[in-house]
Amino acid sequence: MTDEELVRGCIEKNPKAQKLLFERFSRKMMGVCIRYAERREEADDMLQNGFIRVYEKIETFRGSGSLEGWIRKIMVNEALTYLRKNKAMKMNIDIEDARYLVPGNNHVGEHINEKDLLKMIQQLPTGFRTVFNLYAIEGYSHKEIADRLGITEGTSKSQYSRAKTHLQNKIQEETASQEKITGN
């Protein structure tokens, strides 16, 4: 079934088309949700809410971009909505108040695998994780992030910088740990 046929079937509330749409995109969209969630259960909730929203809004899909990209945007929005409703975002530190040093070595962790990196991202505090995902992975500007989250651009930059520093430190720790194990 093509994307156009899937969309048409979902508009008509065809359970077969809805199931196929879910089966086709749920795995990739779970990857999106997991990046924003601390635990698998939260990602499951985000995914479920996201697909409910997809089915509710499917008639607004115009086909000007990919169906996957359209669904991904909905998933990101649902993840942010979930975090706003269920988490204290703690995103009130402005960049002018940030007192930290960013390590100079940006080439750490060349041997960290994707699964370990995802785990590290999931362990970031909610505010750090959210801004990091929106900026580094989804490609939003700090202004767009600030508008979407109701924070200042400076806070977005601060949260991103702190997330990056936190991840670099974790990667350095992991790399050092791996070097001890392998004897390098």
- Check whether residue 174 and residue 103 sit in a common domain: yes
The model's pTM:
0.69
**Which among 36, 62, 86 is the end of a domain?**
86
R_g over Cα of the chain? 19
Q: Are 50 and 79 in contact (CB under 8 A)?
A: yes
One domain for residues 72 and 142: no
- Last residue in a domain, options 34, 62, 86: 86
pLDDT surpassing 80 at residue 179: no
Q: Look at residue 32 and give its three-state secondary structure.
A: helix
Q: End of a domain among 86, 109, 139?
A: 86
Residue-wise over 112-138: b if at least 16 C-beta within 10 A, else e? beeeeeeebbbebbbbbbbbbbbbeeb
The mean pLDDT value for 123-134 works out to: 91
169 and 123 share a domain?
yes
Integer Cα distance of 170 and 19 in angstroms = 39
Residue 133's nearest CA partner among 160, 94, 166, 93 is: 160
What is the model's pLDDT at position 110?
52
Number of residues assigned to the chain? 184
Residues 59 and 109 both lie in one domain:
no
User: Do residues 25 and 63 share a domain?
Assistant: yes
Residues 99 and 172 in one domain: yes
State how many domains the chain has: 2
The CATH number of residue 45's host domain is 1.10.1740.10
> Each residue of 161-171: pLDDT tens digit?
999 999 998 88
CATH number of the structural domain spanning residue 109: 1.10.10.10
- 78 & 137 share domain: no
Measured CA to CA, the distance from residue 44 to residue 144 in angstroms comes to 26
Question: Does residue 49 surpass a pLDDT of 80?
Answer: yes
Instruction: Pick the closest to residue 20 from 73, 60, 58, 74 (CA basis).
Output: 58
Domain that holds residue 160: 95-182
The answer to whether 161 touches 98, Cβ cutoff 8 Å, is yes
- Token pair for 21: 């749409």
